[in-house]
Amino acid sequence: MWTALLYKFNNPRKFVSSGGLGTMGFGFPAAMGAQVACPDQLVINIAGDGSIQMNIQELATCVHYNIPVKIFIINNGYLGMVRQWQERLFNAQYSETVMTGPDYVKLAEAYGATGFRVEKEEDLVSTIQKAINTEGPVIVDFIVESMEAVFPWVLAGDAISNVLLCKCERKCSKSECENCI
């Protein structure tokens, strides 16, 4: 969802998504397929820490067949979308959304891939460049704010015209809203 909302693509047909259908784990096998179909292209899978754990074992396939997909994990320590729903619809009564994930750098190395971790914003660009320039499959573990929410957001059953733009539930922009700043 973050990619769909924030990344600016220069060409059409460069983004594969399940379209917000809640298909955790979709991104990694989709990226593998895209990389096999387009071996001369850079393919990046941007996944949450919950999503990647649905099928991280496929990293063995990437290593075995040298499928050089780059896996960027947005690691907030939560099943983020589920937590966001619980916060909004169930008065922040959280249930089973905290993630206790592995050390993704060590996991990458255990599979025979390369792993990097980003904990500081100033390391972001250089680590992304290193990942892109590294041959073979790569995992980059981006440690991010745990309670960040994804907006805009359309609640289940609501019309697309009833979009939430921020936590305050008004039609505002976060940069202008005193409740959200």
Domains plus CATH for the chain?
A: 2-143 (3.40.50.970), 151-181 (no CATH)
Is the pLDDT reported for residue 44 higher than 70? yes
Is the pLDDT reported for residue 19 higher than 70? no
The angle subtended at Cα 14 by Cα 28 and Cα 158, nearest 5°, is: 75
- Between 30 and 50, the more confident residue is 30
CA distances, 58 to each of 13, 38, 93, 130 (Å): 24, 18, 34, 22
Phi, psi of 70, deg, nearest 5:
-100, 125
Point out which residues pair with 141 in neighbouring strands: 73, 117
Cis peptide before 152 (omega within 30 of 0): yes
DSSP 72: E
DSSP 167: T
Of 99-113, 143-157, 160-174, minimum mean pLDDT range = 160-174
Q: Looking at residue 181, what is its pLDDT?
A: 45
In angstroms, the first-to-last Cα distance of the chain is 21
pTM, two decimal places: 0.77
Q: Looking at residue 177, what is its pLDDT?
A: 61
Is the pLDDT reported for residue 128 higher than 70? yes
